[in-house]
Amino acid sequence: MLKRKDILGLSDLKKEELELILDTAESLREVSDRDIKKVPTLRGKTIINLFFEASTRTRTSFEIAGKRMSADVINISASSSSTVKGETLIDTARNLQAMSPDVVVVRHASSGAPHMIAEAIDASVINAGDGCHEHPSQGLLDLLTIRQAKGSIEGCRVAIIGDIEHSRVVRSNIYGLKTMGADLVVAGLPTMMPAGIEKMGVDVAYSIDAAIKGADVIMMLRIQKERLSNPLFPTEREYSIAFGLNSKRLELAKKDVVIMHPGPINRGVEIAPEVADGSHSLILDQVKNGVAVRMALLYLLAGLKQGDN
Amino acid sequence: MKVLIRGGRLIDPAQGLDGLYDLLLKDGKVADVSPAGKGKSDVATVIDADGLLVIPGIIDIHTHLRDPGYEYKEDIESGTLAAAAGGVTAVACMANTKPVNDNAAITQDILKKAGDTGHVRVYPIGAMTKGLAGKELAEIASMKSAGIVAVSDDGMPVVSSEMMRVGLEYCRPLDLTVISHPEDLGLSAGGSMNEGYLSTIMGLKGIPRAAEDVMVMRDIALAQLTGAKLHIAHISTAGIVSLVREAKRRGIRVTAEAAPHHFSLTEDAVKGYRTDAKMSPPLRESSDIQAIKEGLKDGTIDLIATDHAPHSTIEKDVEFDHAANGIIGLETLLPLTLRLVDEGVLSLTQMVEKLSVNPAAIIGVEGGSLKKGMPADITIIDPEMKFKVDRKKMKSKSKNTPFHGWEMKGKAVYTIVDGKVVYKEDNYD
């Protein structure tokens, strides 16, 4: 079992812990292929999905994961910041604690918000994405997907391409992949490359061609021009010419390269439709693995707490 | 009423004194300074200062008393009590209250309230522009008549270079120092900590050093253009230390201050999303601390000021990027500065210059010396007293300090303003 209360990021998870989560997820994957998609593992457990930021994919994935394990799952959509209500984030957390949940799944636009909540309450907290910090369940489902496709993560060359600075997916992936022995390169525009990223132990490239050459895995990131108050590149068209992944560029990569994307994809911007839908793409496998990984996390945090029955 | 402070180590750079003296206070003034043992003993009140340091009262030229308008964070009564407990005998309070101190009526209100409820002297600083909006000059001359000692839009930079030029020119004949809060709001937008590897792995938007450096470059150029007195607030970068050093070498009228947190803490203090270590400008790296210490040592940085910035839990127990900037500092100023003396960065004489002599000169107020006839504003320090910082015991209404739990050495045990003891440490008789 996991000897920790919370899953706030992959930065401090050891290799054995990552492997335990991935192995557990692997064994739970088949529940979703059954006719009756339900096991009683988390019966009587309460899971609160506390989402301060809009999300369809991640929230639904956690909800399905909880329900397939027979937990009671409650979704709460909160306003983006607690301060507008005149109460603090800590107040919000304590109010939830008073209702005795077993697991609180937190999504927040502010980095560190799940950490503050985790410190304030006894229930387990799973970070479902905080600001530009971490998105551990996404990182884990990416690890699972790569392990399935390549047999082993160790020694894989992974290229992550896009808006590195504003991506929580990147940070979780770097930690998880490095711990599992992969070799990484991140690539993007210099205006979207965060300070000191190379100290995380990755190569840095400013050209997509350089990054994908020799890569076993290419992970494309969504370009969210609409979320940037001050766009860091002139037009989507120009970005696409410089950093879009299309079938011509793909010829530079290894023949058995796999393509991943945390979604939602911008067709024709960072990824051409023929690549997103092509034979190298694992985008839908990622989504399926997302449910399995989240089932594993909920099980490992809440499942065996009382008496290991 | 007479008070005799007997046998303490008096450090008074203005008189060139550092030795054991008796200090006689009468009617709020220093009446006599004589070698230890020679002071008259027919005095009602005698303070035995054996083993203690006796220095001209500490003057903190950068505090936020939050009064009027934000009394739930701090008010003049609580803020000046915190000052007294920290050995500070006078504070200059910034203008970013609600309403802003941008006219003589507010200045008078602050002084009235300080007279009624204050524990130490209060010197208001007036806004340079109306409402701190950076658009038009505040009534600076009227405020000066009412009692302001300097001018600043602190909390906000003056964005327009032309506005800053006009402000400096306007203040020059009034002989008022203009205090600049140097920050390029474009470069700092959305940022909540130092920009670098740590901000990257914490997923927080960083504030590059350049956000401050470029504004200091501009302000130095404008000080040169106008000949006015410019003071740079809360230096956090090595770059500014070099800029100020060079400007002084060229004869430009510029002075500068550093806050204790900027020479005591690195950005590591924000790890774990500790909002009590969030401030503007942000905590930076050890190389910056080193440069600030060098600047203090060689005189580039004239003084130490707290930037005491109280905030309540409603502003601090929130998401890091939403949390307010600032920490309280009045009650930790002295022990943190004494650490510099222990480290050999400053001599005790230099410490007194940074805490009392230079602040008095820069805002043009009496103080900074215990010469006969000067106001009897005195800080008496037990340099060996050890204590643990406990936010619950602090006098400030707000408890936002990153120094909670720190073991400190050196504390003000008597704070004397106008010849009266306004704070006395327990067990000191």
Mapped to the 3 state alphabet, what secondary structure does chain A carry? CCCCCCECCCCCCCHHHHHHHHHHHHHHHHHHHCCCCCCCCCCCCEEEEEECCCCCHHHHHHHHHHHHCCCEEEEEECCCCHHHHCCCHHHHHHHHHCCCCCEEEEEECCCCHHHHHHHHCCCEEEEEEECCCECHHHHHHHHHHHHHHHCCCCCCEEEEECCCCCCHHHHHHHHHHHHCCCEEEEECCHHHCCCCHHHHCCEEECCHHHHHCCCCEEEECCCCHHHCCCCCCCCHHHHHHHHCECHHHHCCCCCCCEEECCCCCCECCCECHHHHCCCCECHHHHHHHHHHHHHHHHHHHHHCCCCCC
**Cα–Cα distance list, B386 to A269, B332, B335, B382, B403 (Å):** 63, 13, 9, 9, 14
- How many C-beta atoms surround the C-beta of residue A42 within 10 A? 24
Q: How far is B300 from chain A (nearest CA, A)?
A: 30
Token pair for B254: 């510029």
Check A113 against B319: CB less than 8 A apart: yes
Answer yes or no: are the C-beta atoms of A186 and A164 closer than 8 Å: yes
Identify the CA nearest to B414 among candidates B7, B43, B1, B88.
B88
**Confidence band (pLDDT; 50, 70, 90) for A78?**
confident
Please state the pTM of the whole predicted model: 0.95
Would you call B203 and A200 a contact, using CB atoms and an 8 Å cutoff?
no
> Which pLDDT tens digit goes with each residue over B243-297?
999 999 999 999 999 999 999 999 999 999 999 999 999 999 999 999 999 999 9
pLDDT band at B427 (very low <50, low <70, confident <90, very high): confident
- Span B314-339, average pLDDT: 97
Say which DSSP state B308 is in. B
Same fold, B2-54+374-424 and B57-363: no
A47-70 per-position pLDDT tens digit: 999 999 989 899 999 999 999 999
Distance CA A22, CA A297 (A): 9
- Half-sphere exposure of residue B283: CA atoms within 13 angstroms, side-chain side: 22
> B2-54+374-424 maps to which CATH number?
2.30.40.10
- Per-residue pLDDT tens over the stretch A164-199: 999 999 999 999 999 999 999 999 999 999 999 999
Give me the residue from A88, A108, A131 closest to B317, CB to CB.
Answer: A88
The predicted pLDDT at position B201 comes to 98
Closest alpha carbon within chain B to A90: B317
Within 13 Å, how many C-alpha atoms sit on residue B212's CB side? 28
Strand B378-388 vs strand B303-304: parallel, antiparallel, or unpaired? Answer: unpaired
The pLDDT, as a whole number, for residue A80 is 58
pLDDT at position A86, please?
A: 76
Which one of A89, A192, A228 makes the best mutation probe of the B interface by having the most chain B beta carbons within 10 Å? A89
Architecture of domain B57-363: Alpha-Beta Barrel (3.20)
The mean-pLDDT minimum among A60-64, A95-99, A111-115 falls in: A95-99
Secondary structure letter of residue B38 according to DSSP: -
CB atoms within 10 A of CB A229: 6
CB contact under 8 A, A108 and B196: no
Q: What is the pLDDT of residue A228?
A: 61
Burial class (CB in 10 A: 0-12, 13-18, 19+), B313: middle
pLDDT surpasses 70 at B27: yes
Q: Provide mean pLDDT across the span A20-38.
A: 96
Query: Nearest by CB to B203, which of A82, A168, A199?
Result: A168
- Rounded mean pLDDT of chain B? 97
User: Do you know the residue count of chain A?
Assistant: 309
> Over 60: is that where the pLDDT of A44 sits?
yes
Task: Note whether B204 contacts A: Cβ–Cβ < 8 A.
Answer: yes
Written as six digits, the tokens of B89 are 């005998």
Domain range list for chain B:
2-54+374-424, 57-363
How far apart (Å, rounded) are the C-alpha atoms in residues B201 and A171? Answer: 7
Question: Which residues are CB-neighbours of B214 under 8 A, at least 6 positions away?
Answer: B184, B187
Task: Name every chain A residue with its beta carbon within 8 A of the beta carbon of B273.
Answer: 111-112, 115-116
- Catalytic annotation, residues of B: 307
Residue A168 touches chain B, beta carbons under 8 Å: yes
Q: What pLDDT is attached to residue A308?
A: 46
Q: What percent of chain B has pLDDT over 90?
A: 97
Phi-psi region of A294 (alpha: psi -120 to 50; beta: other; left: phi over 0): alpha
Instruction: Compute the count of residue pairs across chains A and B with CB atoms less than 8 Å apart.
Output: 83
Long-range contacts of B208-213 (CB under 8 A, 24+ apart): B209/B236, B209/B237, B209/B238, B209/B239, B209/B284, B209/B288, B210/B184, B210/B239, B211/B183, B211/B184, B211/B187, B211/B281, B212/B182, B212/B183, B212/B184, B212/B236, B212/B237, B212/B239, B212/B240, B212/B281, B213/B237, B213/B239, B213/B240, B213/B243
With cut-offs at 50, 70 and 90, classify the pLDDT of residue A227: low
Spatial separation of the C-alpha atoms in residues B298 and B345, rounded to whole Å:
9
pLDDT category at A229 given cuts 50, 70, 90 is low
Give strand pairing partners of B33: B23
> At B419, which helix (H) or strand (E)?
none
